[in-house]
Structure 1
């Protein structure tokens, strides 16, 4: 089974990305451009300063549309006009703490925005692999030691997490109601990953951006919840899984229907690190400080809004279906992340070519390491995932 992201597949593929101006969307857009894909993106303007999308100069590299995912007519028109081979739906309100302040907006964006993309799929006349990005926080988190599997109950304590569970229900409903036996082959899968880190994330109230801003200002890193455990992974890990899944779905859609084997490709997929990368926030901060000298300050407060303290994912479905597994361990993930920010801090803010070169280099390193792992069968074992 092929387990590599293939440039031969992505060359000249028409890809539609919602949320392409965000952190993950920018990394995904750059990777797809390197692979030779043609991209149309729909998103709001970047809401951070700086913003990775602007640092990379991506607006000049793709068909860039500013708009709201809640604009049903706009979503429908752009997707219908583009007739994409692949859709990645990333547009979301992605912050737990903000969801307490903007709960209705969070649900509108994350649930109805997803529904509008699903509705737009009905207008497509050619095969399309559609990947809907949700989150690992969509599960009913019992704070247990075991990892969550794709068939575990959905839930969500806070408005962000519960809105993503709602999005998962909508994805499953539309897939079963409108595309299960469709004359036009549309493949729909949802993907769940979280606690993604990497260079270029400048969002508020996230530990890595908070840490980098503090280090650049020569201040102590503020840490709200040092004992919370998370499955930390580099942004390229889940993106590689999304690309692999889209490849597999599209290749099967293009196969004569009597030869298609789509079993296991639809539905939900977890993409997370090995259990060895499930570390505390304190471990993460101390790992960052091993590469960039500084200090941290415990700012835990008793009346803070609820945030989960323990969360793990089981990724055996992705391994057995796609032969996907994590490439970079916790230490390398932290090192690559800090390296990006440190080198970026030495660059002129307007030097887009330098920012692209830095980011492209890490994509190439990741692909090379993935290639080496794929060519070492003795290392391609599910034990590495567990």
Structure 2
């Protein structure tokens, strides 16, 4: 595999299993764009279709040169075009592109795609073999279709917020957009599976993923327990109700995370921090006992750790064979030795982006290209897909192409 230049992010590589697969991407914000970004880095030709106003994520702070970092990351490797699907020429162009694509992904609220003329039936009429992938928040049923969907709404709806934080405190959102990002991964896997199935002679025509499906998959075993018992999981703060000691503890100058989910590790913790007498304490004999009496155990561990600083305890715990780490701020984590060793960041268009979590034959998968400027490839893609010049001029005349594309026509 071609080595990536870490300064420029350049390098086409040879790991491109989706080369030759064209994906028409009508998604916006985060979940869908994250899915198609992954697929673009795997070699797919992803055509991102935006309205003249652009994807909302373009304006999300923080920004670099007027474009949000989130947009830059979620849309790397794609070609970008602008179409106004509220016009006849925009809809016609969309169907022309669909006729020449292998996959269409849309993240509109149920019924919207059909209303504007790019629903599954309309698309399949011009391309019977296309994979039509619908991404939504709560599904297209009578209940789900009426519910609005953003990551925090889904976290709130599915009980995730009430699992976070500490008793007596307000519900807490998982700070990373875990539902959006997890959904993007499911969509990417779905497309990969459908492409593989097609290669093996099984035609997959339509797929759907909802944010609510992802949310429940993230809490799968807790959801099963709640379904069976009718009881809400206990809020565990930084810990986990199935193990202890297994959370963040305060030391003299900060906090450290100790992960000792089994008996062997618990006994090592007790020895290292000087509370060996608690190993035989009836409250803490087994994992189940320690979990039930975790509040009392936390007090005992905190009292022991108060005598030294974080670095000292982490060093001693490591020497004793106990998994432990300081609790870092993100600004510290991105500069850590592990991030450097793993090559976590690749420079792309002057911005350090977190690479995809693959090493292929010892090399990172490169970003194919920076995220497109609004409408950057409109003319290129329309011409490539057979739209004639008169129709292109009409599209531009109606204001459905970006300023950049319009200027290209003038040139």
TM-score range, shorter chain: 0.3 to 0.5
Higher relative contact order structure (alpha carbons within 8 Å, sequence separation ≥ 6):
2
Query: Which structure has the larger Rg over C-alpha atoms?
Result: 2
